[in-house]
Amino acid sequence: MKELGKIIINGKGEERIVYSPQYVPDTPEENVIVFPDKKSVAVNWRRNLEKLKEMGKVLEEAEIVQEEGTYRVPITNPEIPYAMGLIFSDAHIGSYSSDYDLIISLIDTVLSTPNSFLVDCGDTFDAGVWGGLQHEQILPQYMQTFTIEDMMRELGNKYAACVIGNHAEFLFLASGQKPEMIFARQMKGPIFAGMGLLHLEAGKQKYDIALAHTYWGKSKINIFNTCVRLRENEYPEADVFVVGHEHIWGYMKEMVEGREVLYIRPGTAKIRDRYARIHGVAKRGQACGIAVLFGTEKREFNAYTIDDACEIMRIREELAKLK
């Protein structure tokens, strides 16, 4: 509808926008379907598309997922000049082939480390509803989601962001229930559908992290090719690029137009993966365990194994006590 102007609607001087009425022509006679001894049916494509536009707006306004979002790291020890982000992906909670000792260790590390947070790059729970995946579920899907909700409750404001991966999306494909509702009830940080840009605020510094559960350009020869494509095509100004899904582990830095960028393939907790062996993907998944240290005073960011990152945080904490 075209905006015509405004009119004053009461003595307070309040105004209301006036629109021209949407022209919907009468249904042409040839479009009216008449059945013998039954009602006639009139189909008007203009009217239908106008109604579809209205419903599209209603659904869009109800979306929880974001394309971008901001997370402020809870700095519990300002004497340590770093914030530690643990990159978590492809946990597949509920499948018999996931390493639950690994998952517990990762969560406990975030909970016990000052200035730390968790970034979830998708496939948090397995939700296998098709093919052989349904036979991997040793925890019913409803209990998988209850388990994730309780994990988020314990993490609290340390759960920085979540990407909806293809396994969580199985819930939508099978039942029409959007999986982001599971995360929204407990999460403090943003939720991204498939991919998104996380604006990270760590102390005095700000960083941009591009997250994608999967992206094109996958290569076994160059596992970071998909991260490069994500940078070139979607988030050219980001600092860190994380792509999950393939259960591959690794990190690499490079210089692009005079600035450092960091690429991360976060690995998985699903390390006993029959599907991967049967389909020639890999012998087993590569265990997740990458952390990024972000400077809170000076702008710097580097990836480490989780053990090394925790050791650096411990040493800086001890040094702070000596001051």
Tell which CATH classification among 3.40.50.1100, 3.30.365.10, 3.60.21.10, 3.40.50.11540 matches the domain 66-322: 3.60.21.10
> What integer pLDDT is reported at residue 1 of this predicted model?
58
State the Cα–Cα distance between residues 81 and 135, nearest whole angstrom.
47
pLDDT given for residue 132 in this prediction: 67
Confidence (pTM) = 0.85
Cα dist from 109 to 54, 64, 98, 154, 290, whole Å = 47, 29, 18, 13, 12
CA-CA distance, 129 to 173, in Å (whole number)? 9
Q: Where are the domains of the chain?
A: 3-61, 66-322
Residue 222's pLDDT is: 95
Per-residue pLDDT of the chain (323 residues; tens, 9 = 90+): 567 778 777 777 778 777 776 666 777 777 776 667 766 777 788 889 999 999 999 998 888 899 999 999 999 999 999 999 999 999 999 999 999 999 999 999 999 999 999 999 999 988 876 666 777 788 888 899 899 999 999 999 999 999 999 988 887 777 778 888 888 888 889 999 999 999 999 999 999 999 999 999 999 899 999 999 999 999 999 999 999 999 999 999 999 999 999 999 999 999 988 777 887 878 889 999 999 999 999 999 999 999 999 999 999 999 888 87
CB 61 within 8 A of CB 236: no
DSSP per-residue string spanning 46-81: HHHHHHHHHHHHHHHHT---EEEEEEE---S-TTS-
